[in-house]
Structure 1
Amino acid sequence: MLAAPAHAAPHDGRWSVVVITEKGSCDQAYRYEVAVNDGKVEYVGREQVNFSGTVGAGGAVKVNIRLGEQGATGSGKLSGSNGAGTWQGTGNSGSCAGRWEAERR
């Protein structure tokens, strides 16, 4: 029996994500380049960032980011070639929160 051909998940590919701080004294914004492969989110940049997460078939996103002692969690949704959501975490200066926006590359 032959296996069914593999198809890319609807949100697979490279994404540029900007993380914007709205509360707290963390840096104002960060930009991350990530790849979604079969619903798994991976960081593809140069910094030593632990970036993990998932994207469901309907576009629901859940991610965790850690850089040294700093860390954040985020959630939101990808739709077509864009996405948006919220995040909260702890930086060098205490607790922070804000929003994120994504664009397919």
Structure 2
Amino acid sequence: MFEDMNVESAEEREMKNLLTSAIAASCLVALVSVAQARSAYDGSWDLLFVTQRGACDPTYIFAVNIIDGVVTHPNLVKFRGHVARSGAVRASVSVPDKYASGSGQLSSNSGRGTWSGYSRGARCSGYWTAQRN
């Protein structure tokens, strides 16, 4: 009687093997999804903004981080940006009395684009460059 309780049938073994394989496949799919979420542009970048028109400061320099294609800045609360797989980038930043938005293109270690915005009511525009750290 107790021997029958410890004996595993072929069907039960097959079901356990199938379940184990399904779990392993699910874990592999999850790992691949996480790996694909990373962006080729992830990392720290130094940005230089140059004003060509308007009464804004002549230059702005700061660093941003790109994580999974999302551009972030540790101190600027209202900063939004995204880099597509192609390297096309769009971003905007808003601080009291100042706003700017821009777009451009990143390559593996550098980038360039244009921006426009305002500072204390004055309209401004120019270009930006980026260098990977």
TM-score of the superposition, structure 2-length normalised? 0.72
- The aligned counterpart of 2:102 is 74
Aligned length, in residue pairs: 103
Match in the other structure for 2:31: 4
**Pick aligned residue for 2:50 from 20, 38, 45:** 20
Structure with the higher strand share, 1 or 2: 1
Within a 5 Å distance, the mapping from 1:82-93 to structure 2 comes to 82-92=110-120
Segments of structure 2 that go 5 or more residues without pairing to the other structure are 1-25
SS at match of 2:55: coil
Q: 4+ residue stretches of structure 1 with deviation over 6 A?
A: none
Identity, in percent, stands at 35
Answer 1 or 2: which has greater helix percent: 2
Which structure exhibits the higher relative contact order, with contacts defined as CA atoms closer than 8 Å and separated by 6 or more residues? 1
| TM-superposed deviation, 1:93 | 5.2
What residue identity is the alignment partner of 1:71? Answer: Y
Instruction: Report deviation, 1:57.
Output: 0.5
Gap runs ≥5 in structure 1: none
**Aligned to 2:31, what secondary structure does the other structure show?**
coil
Q: Give the structure with higher Rg (CA).
A: 2
The answer for the alignment partner of 1:40 in structure 2 is 70
